[in-house]
């Protein structure tokens, strides 16, 4: 192990030349909650007592051994991973991760089915986020909130209503706001003749969900768009235009847009959308993922787009107004390592962005010095941020560099291999 403190002192000197407050950047970075998605731990399986695989046009590929089979195992795995993820964390649950002795259908879920999750979160001092599960169900094959069949649509509206009540329960139990992400897979393999009616039905469904739960407190609702899903390539009811239109037309503080980095055309980037969204909205839910040619939900990388998103949020002064959640599911590698790599990368990109002299860059721009603007932006793409990152991880006891890897291998041999 190298002298982490010495490296940190050198980095501080480097950043001081540009007036960057390194300690301040670390403190901000540490305070921003990252919502850790539970579904990486079991390939989006969930714990409902029912048969049937993953549907909705998403896929977890790979069959790496050791996935969590019960909620207890999942909590243990998440706890293990969390040790190596510095900073404030929340846990993001799907409705399908309920705990009950018998099968509970989606239109019957209640807070009591999530009591053990809430007990655990309270014990750990973390907040809980939530997601209605509008997929992997026989009634989701021909649409959910946009279904033409009124009984089916009613079923899913009831699910949405019940999920907001679970969100209220999480808020009451943890004292921290619950961010609910509403994503529906509704779409068509071919081009429909009538592209409007399903959208009007979905709009009405969301209205009904929110109207029936006006009394709910401490819940923020993200509406997540998508460009396409597998098997629904030609038409998506909840497209970007639909979701953005819905959110903007509602003008309700708790209804915000969710931008998932995997949900756009391959040449479109979320980082380029942020400034425009914040011109009309005070807040946003971000799903950080890594699309490889499609919404493949690879583990978040410390790549250009992740870094650019964080830079943009810092430069806009909107980091604190953005709810940041991870969303990927890779079944081809150790699932705990997937969490650690993905969430560490998300946090690391955030720290790198916070360690930039934004005021100097803004001044160069305001002065019309576009040469200095480019020079500075490029210089800080590859700064000494990793020395600060190592120190931050050491301070938080989260493992420096690859320290965590041998521990994960140990957990794999002693725990995962027995499953
Ligand atoms: C499992 C999640 O609900 C899902 O990943 C959703 O957020 C999404 O992004 C679907 O593509
Ligand atoms: Mn998502």
Q: How far apart are CA 374 and CA 54, in angstroms?
A: 45
- Which tokens belong to 378? 């490029």
Q: Which ligand is nearest to the CA of 187?
A: 1
- Identify whether 113 is a catalytic site residue: no
- CB of 22 closer than 6 A to ligand 1? no
Predicted model pTM: 0.98
- CB of 327 closer than 6 A to ligand 1? yes
Q: Which ligand is nearest to the CA of 182?
A: 1
Assign 3-class secondary structure to the chain.
Answer: CCCHHHHHHHHHHHHHCCCCCHHHHHHHHHHCCEEEEHHHHCCCCCCCCCCCCCCCCCCCCCCCCCCCCCHHHHHHHHHHHHCCCCCCEEEEEEHHHCCCCCCCCHHHCCHHHHHHHHHHHHHHCCEEEEECCCCCCHHHCCCCCCCCCHHHHHHHHHHHHHHHHHHHHHHHHHCCCEEEEECCCCEECCCCCCCCHHHHHHHHHHHHHHHCCCCCCCEEEEEECCCCECCECCEECCCHHHHHHHHHHHCCCCEEEEEECCCCCCCCCHHHCHHHHCCCCCCEEEEECEEECEEEEECCCCCHHHHHHHHHHHHHCCHHHEEEEECCCCCCCCHHHHHHHHHHHHHHHHHHHHCCCHHHHHHHHHCCCHHHHHHHHHHHHHCCHHHHHHHHHHHCCCCCCCHHHHHHHHHHHHCHHHC
Q: Which residues pair with 129 in a beta bridge?
A: 92
Each of the 419 residues of the chain gets a pLDDT tens digit; together they read 899 999 999 999 999 999 999 999 999 999 999 999 999 999 999 999 888 999 999 999 999 999 999 999 999 999 999 999 999 999 999 999 999 999 999 999 999 999 999 999 999 999 999 999 999 999 999 999 999 999 999 999 999 999 999 999 999 999 999 999 999 999 999 999 999 999 999 999 999 999 999 999 999 999 999 999 999 999 999 999 999 999 999 999 999 999 999 999 999 999 999 999 999 999 999 999 999 999 999 999 999 999 999 999 999 999 999 999 999 999 999 999 999 999 999 999 999 999 999 999 999 999 999 999 999 999 999 999 999 999 999 999 999 999 999 999 999 999 999 99
- CB of 182 closer than 6 A to ligand 1? no
CA angle 68, 69, 72 (to 5 degrees): 75
Protein residue whose Cα sits closest to atom 6 of ligand 1: 183
Q: How far apart are CA 360 and CA 366, in angstroms?
A: 10
* Nearest alpha-carbon partner for 341 in 380, 305, 391, 290: 290
Kindly give the distance from the C-alpha atom of residue 327 to the centroid of ligand 1, in angstroms, as a whole number.
Answer: 7
CB atoms within 10 A of CB 204: 14
What is the ipTM, given to two decimal places?
0.98
Pocket mutation for ligand 1, best pick of 135, 327, 331, 338 (most atoms within 8 Å of C-beta): 327
Kindly give the distance from the C-alpha atom of residue 183 to the centroid of ligand 1, in angstroms, as a whole number.
Answer: 7
CB atoms within 10 A of CB 217: 11
263 is in an annotated binding site: yes
- Domains contained in the chain, CATH given: 25-356 (3.20.20.150)
Q: How far apart are CA 407 and CA 80, in angstroms?
A: 9
Inter-residue contact 98 to 48 (CB < 8 Å): yes
- CB of 287 closer than 6 A to ligand 1? yes
What is the Cβ-side half-sphere exposure of residue 197, based on CA atoms within 13 angstroms?
Answer: 8
Residues 94, 263, 298, 318: which is the catalytic one? Answer: 263
């Amino acid at each position: 192990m190298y002298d982490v403190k010495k490296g940190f002192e050198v980095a501080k000197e480097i950043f001081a030349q540009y007036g960057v407050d390194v300690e301040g950047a670390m403190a901000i970075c540490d305070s921003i909650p990252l919502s850790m998605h539970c579904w990486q731990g079991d390939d989006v399986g969930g714990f409902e007592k029912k048969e049937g695989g993953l549907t909705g046009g998403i896929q977890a590929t790979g069959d790496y051994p050791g996935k969590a089979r019960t909620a207890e195992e999942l909590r243990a795995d998440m706890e293990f991973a969390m040790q190596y993820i510095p900073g404030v964390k929340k846990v993001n649950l799907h409705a399908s991760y309920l705990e009950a002795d018998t099968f509970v259908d989606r239109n019957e879920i209640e807070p009591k089915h999530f009591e053990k999750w809430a007990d655990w979160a309270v014990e750990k001092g973390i907040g809980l986020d939530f997601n209605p599960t509008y997929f992997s169900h026989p009634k989701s094959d021909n649409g959910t909130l946009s279904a033409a069949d009124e009984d089916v649509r009613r079923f899913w509206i009831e699910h949405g209503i019940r999920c907001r009540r679970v969100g209220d329960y999480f808020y009451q139990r943890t004292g921290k706001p619950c961010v609910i992400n509403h994503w529906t897979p509704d779409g068509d393999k071919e081009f429909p003749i009538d592209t409007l009616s399903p959208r009007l039905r979905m709009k009405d469904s969301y209205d009904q969900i929110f109207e029936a739960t006006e009394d709910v407190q401490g819940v923020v609702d993200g509406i997540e768009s998508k460009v396409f899903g597998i098997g629904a390539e030609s038409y998506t009811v909840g497209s970007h235009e639909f979701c953005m239109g819905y959110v903007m037309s509602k003008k309700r503080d708790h209804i915000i847009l969710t931008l998932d980095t995997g949900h756009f055309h391959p040449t479109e980037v979320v980082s380029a959308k942020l400034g425009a969204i914040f011109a009309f909205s005070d807040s946003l839910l971000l799903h950080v993922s890594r699309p490889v040619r499609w919404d493949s939900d690879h583990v978040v990388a410390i790549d250009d787009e992740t870094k650019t998103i964080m830079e943009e949020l810092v430069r806009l002064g909107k980091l604190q107004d953005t709810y940041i959640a991870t969303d990927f599911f890779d079944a081809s590698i150790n699932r705990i390592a997937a969490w650690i790599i993905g969430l560490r990368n998300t946090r690391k990109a955030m720290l790198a962005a916070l360690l930039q002299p934004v005021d100097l860059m803004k001044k160069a721009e305001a002065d019309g010095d576009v040469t200095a603007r480019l020079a500075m932006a490029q210089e800080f793409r590859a700064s000494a941020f990793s020395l600060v990152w190592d120190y931050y991880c050491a301070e938080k006891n989260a493992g420096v560099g690859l320290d965590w890897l041998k521990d994960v291998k140990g957990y794999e041999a002693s725990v995962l291999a027995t499953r």
